[in-house]
């Protein structure tokens, strides 16, 4: 596990784009890296954790701040990288 934390801004994007952008970003990360996804689509609070469960990533935190919501996840062993 590592303390590397990355940020992904998916504000103003609607479903399914926050999940797709999250998936694409996770593919560039290493196992144990953490990613904070900030979004304005409240559905992402359900969609991203569901995607994490299916793909073996750990949801560390979810929440809302004003009109924005966020999901913090830790990348699992299979990050979906194509190489």
Cβ atoms of 12 and 6 within 8 Å: the answer is no
Backbone angles phi, psi at 5, to 5 degrees: -120, 125
Domains and CATH numbers, the chain: 5-74 (3.30.110.40)
Number of H helices and E strands in the chain, helices first, is: 2, 4
Is the N-terminal amide bond of 40 cis, ω within 30° of 0? Answer: no
pLDDT in tens, 44-63: 999 999 999 999 999 999 99
Whole-number Å distance between alpha carbons of 29 and 15: 22
The answer to whether 52 is a known catalytic residue is: no
pLDDT band at residue 1, thresholds of 50, 70 and 90? very low
- Which of these is catalytic: 15, 34, 39, 69? 15
Instruction: Tell me the whole-structure pTM to 2 decimals.
Output: 0.91
């Amino acid at each position: 596990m590592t303390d590397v934390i990355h940020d992904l801004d998916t504000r103003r994007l609607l479903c399914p784009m926050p999940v797709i952008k999250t998936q694409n970003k996770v593919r560039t990360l290493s196992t144990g890296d953490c990613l904070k996804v900030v979004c304005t689509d409240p559905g992402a609070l359900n969609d991203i954790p569901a995607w994490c469960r299916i793909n073996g990533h750990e949801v560390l935190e979810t929440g809302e701040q004003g009109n924005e919501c966020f999901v913090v996840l830790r990348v699992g062993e299979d990050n979906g990288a194509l190489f």
